[in-house]
Structure 1
Amino acid sequence: MRKVGFLSFGWWSAAPGSKVRTAEEAMTDTIRLAEAAEDAGIDGAWIRVHHFEQCLSSPFPLLAAMGARTSRIELGTGVINMRYENPLYMAEAAATADLVAGGRLQLGVSRGSPEPAADGPAEFGYPLGFGDSPSADAARRIARFREAIAGEGIAPAGPRAHVRAGELLPIQPHSPGLSDRIWYGAGGIESGRRAGELGMHLMSSTLVLEATGEPLGVVQARQLEAFRQAWREAGHAGEPRTSVSRSIMPIVDDVTDTYFHPYLERDRLGGNRDQIGEIDNTVSTFGKTYVGDLDKLERELREDDAVMTADTLLVTVPNQLGADLNRTTFGALAELRDRLAR
């Protein structure tokens, strides 16, 4: 593992104890989280994208603002559900945000996970065609988006265009290098292998769509290896990147102990472990929460095969506790990264 970043859903609610109570506070606090991450020395600020929920949904204005307020850290999405997206408009927005950030975007895209709306993409104007599938629809949108951000010609020139007859107009603005920083959020081994074949980097979540009874780290490590093998066999240039997500709660002072001690007690009683469950009509392996002091976290994470073989660890953060508390845990995560690298 070489990098560690946070992954925030950007939830807001007026629940007791929440420090992020409105949509406005969620936006401003997410920018503060990015500043806190850079100040604490971790490597990335990544945001989750959901629709029809009280959490982050429109990533590019927020990523541009995060980019304008930071200078070093990677800024990513984990992930954008492409079934909601116009790939050409998204290419313009993504390039704009990447240029503002100085070429630091790392964009995770996918078919998406279950959403609360019965058919959200249709409400956005993108109903599935007869006989089509969500996976195929998302794959086409991803392919079109990748063409556009690569600077390829898209639209035939009209009579007013300042190009030669017969040339295709590319999407503008163009951000060089962005096309090399696209990740696919893969749920299983086959989708991970497909990401490698297509030359996209791999994001793997706190769950894998496979249930063998083995720990998540073991199952997920096979997914990462299948991805790397497919990348090599496809002959892609460069080094493929992989990330895994984990729920990690460092206890480093009285405040973090107050918030996270109930999870530590559950852990001591044996109630905190990987689980077998169902998502998207598929039996899956769900990861546990890592909680405790840095010595305990280091020992347990060293035993997680996927964490130790991935180059990036994304830690889901309790954003409703606010940027100030998370600044403390970010400092702990930076130290944990350095320990695991030894």
Structure 2
Amino acid sequence: MTKKIGFLSFGHWQDAPGSRTRSAADALHQTIELAEAAEELGVDGAYVRVHHFERQLASPFPLLSAIAARTRRIEIGTGVIDMRYENPLYMAEEAAATDLIAGGRLQLGVSRGSPEIALNGAESFGYRPGDGRTAADLARAKTELFLAAIDGAAVATTDPQRAGVRAGLAIQPQAPGLRERIWWGSGTRGTAVWAAEQGMNLQSSTLLSEDTGEPFDRLQAEQIRAYRAAWAEHEHGRRPRISVSRSVLPVTSELDRRYFGTRGEGDQVGLLEGVRARFGRTYVGEPDAIAAELAADEAVREADTVLFTVPNQLGVEYNARILETITRHVAPAIGWAPATAAASSELTM
């Protein structure tokens, strides 16, 4: 299986010494430029994180549409949209329009969301779970309505006085195939199983909100295998896609050493919202050493797509160089080949 790779940008901006991304405008324009550079390098995907009330990217659809208009091949996506904040039907319209602009390249990651700076932030947008329901319940219910809407289900009815009959209405526009390109960002084995039951692809989080004492990659691989087993029990009619994210900072220059040092960090374990959680490690070092470590990573071996997080505040040129190093020295070791090379390989099989 030839793997796909992509970059994942958190889209931070800060008017601070050393930052090359000082404003929201910088973050948006530079993300578009980095997607163009990544496409030229043969990278398969350009993904963005979505966070509200922080100096990060928060409005994915205008940004993804702009990337789509400036590129031709690269997949565009999110990792992830917090569904607690969304109007599912309006989001379905936005997603369909973006996918049509992109020519079917949208890979949309959604989820319950991650810990955030805002206290009950979704309530400021007008959404609360209701009595006896949790934030996770709210996110799942909205996701189910969103999935039905992009699948063409009737979500409203005509006015008989104007239409002459009462009939169901689907959202417009519709984007063929979009339903199969929705991903659920999962932080536990249980939510991975739920994603499989719903027929969504899996984005396994860099933060797992459970800890068994196993190393992060093994725990994540267990999650992926649980997802695959649940998928096999349902008739979805296709093979699912599964992605994992890794923080990879290859050191090839003295500037890299000043920024990152020469050694990465191991797994981190701690309490998050009262739950013991495990965070994935950061890979720092010589490209060949990182390649060997990733090739031995159990979850990387299980996944078909690997997203590499980028330090976006260091600017487009610096991050494009990181991606070039990854494509030349790291990604081939985990089973990736540039799109043209992969296509030629498949034709000769």
Mapping 1:12-23, distance limit 5 Å: 12-23=13-24
Shift of 1:33: 1.4
Cα separation, 2, equivalents of 1:244 and 1:279: 20
Q: 1:294 aligns with which of 287, 299, 302?
A: 287
Specify the alignment match of 2:45 in structure 1. 44
User: Residues of 2 paired with 1:61 and 1:142: CA distance?
Assistant: 20
Aligned to 1:206: 206
Conserved? CA contact 2:159–2:166, under 8 Å: no
Using the TM superposition, give the Cα deviation of residue 254 of structure 1 relative to its aligned residue in structure 2, in angstroms.
4.2
1:210 Cα offset (Å): 2.0
1:340 corresponds to: 334
CA distance in 2, matches of 1:230, 1:215: 23
> Cα gap change, 1:122/1:305 in structure 2, threshold over 3 Å: closer, same or farther?
same
Deviation at residue 329 of structure 1 after TM alignment = 1.0
1-structure distance, mates of 2:179, 2:161: 29
Aligned position for 1:147: 148
What are the equivalent positions in structure 2 for 1:213-292 lying under 5 Å apart? 213-260=213-260, 262=261, 264=262, 266-267=263-264, 272-292=265-285
Distance 1:133 1:159 in 2: 37
**Is the 8 Å Cα contact of residues 42 and 333 (structure 1) preserved in structure 2?**
no
Q: Take 1:278 and 1:39, find their aligned partners in 2: how far apart are those partners?
A: 41
What code does the residue aligned with 1:306 have? A
Please give the secondary structure, in 2, of the residue aligned with 1:100.
helix
TM-score of the aligned structures, taking structure 2 as reference length: 0.92
**Is the contact between residue 28 and residue 63 of structure 2 (CA under 8 Å) also seen in structure 1?**
yes
Distance in 2 (CA, whole Å) between partners of 1:161 and 1:84 is 33
Number of residue pairs the alignment of both structures matches: 334
Deviation at 1:169, TM superposition (A): 1.1
Task: Name the CA distance, whole Å, in 1 between partners of 2:116 and 2:286.
Answer: 35
User: C-alpha displacement at 1:328, in angstroms?
Assistant: 0.7
Mark the CA change 1:118 to 1:125 in structure 2 (over 3 Å): closer, same or farther. Answer: same
Query: Structure 1: which 4+ aligned runs deviate by more than 6 Å?
Result: none
Following the alignment from structure 1 to structure 2, what is the Cα–Cα distance between the partners of residues 276 and 248? 19
Of 275-284 and 22-31, more deviation after overlay is shown by 275-284
Query: In the TM superposition, what are the counterparts of 1:29-68 in structure 2 within 5 Å?
Result: 29-68=30-69
SS in 1 for 2:91: helix
Shift of 1:165: 2.2
- Output the CA distance in 2 between the equivalents of 1:76 and 1:288: 23
Tell me, in whole angstroms, the C-alpha distance in 2 between the residues paired with 1:131 and 1:292.
49
Structure 1 position 222, deviation (Å): 0.3
- Which sections of structure 1, spanning at least 5 residues, go unmatched? none
SS of equivalent residue, structure 2 residue 233:
helix
CA–CA distance in structure 1, aligned partners of residues 246 and 333 of structure 2: 17
Identity %: 51
Q: Deviations over 1:136-171 (max 9, x none)?
A: 111110011011111121110124766x72321110
Distance 1:292 1:94 in 2: 38
For residues 81-118 of structure 1, the C-alpha deviation after alignment (integer angstroms, 9 at most, x for no partner) is 00100000000111111111111000111111122111
CA distance in 2, matches of 1:99, 1:165: 30
Aligned to 2:191: 191
SS at match of 1:238: coil
Q: How does 1:68-87 map to 2 (within 5 A)?
A: 68-87=69-88
For 1:71 and 1:291, the matched residues in 2 are separated by 32
Match of 2:141, as an amino acid?
A: R
Rounded Cα–Cα distance in structure 2 between residues aligned with 1:127 and 1:89: 18
Deviation at 1:259, TM superposition (A): 2.4
| SS of residue matched to 1:283 | strand
The aligned amino acid for 2:119 is: A
Q: Deviations over 1:227-265 (max 9, x none)?
A: 0110011122111111111110012344434423x2x2x
Q: Equivalents in 2 of 1:134, 1:44: separation in Å? A: 30
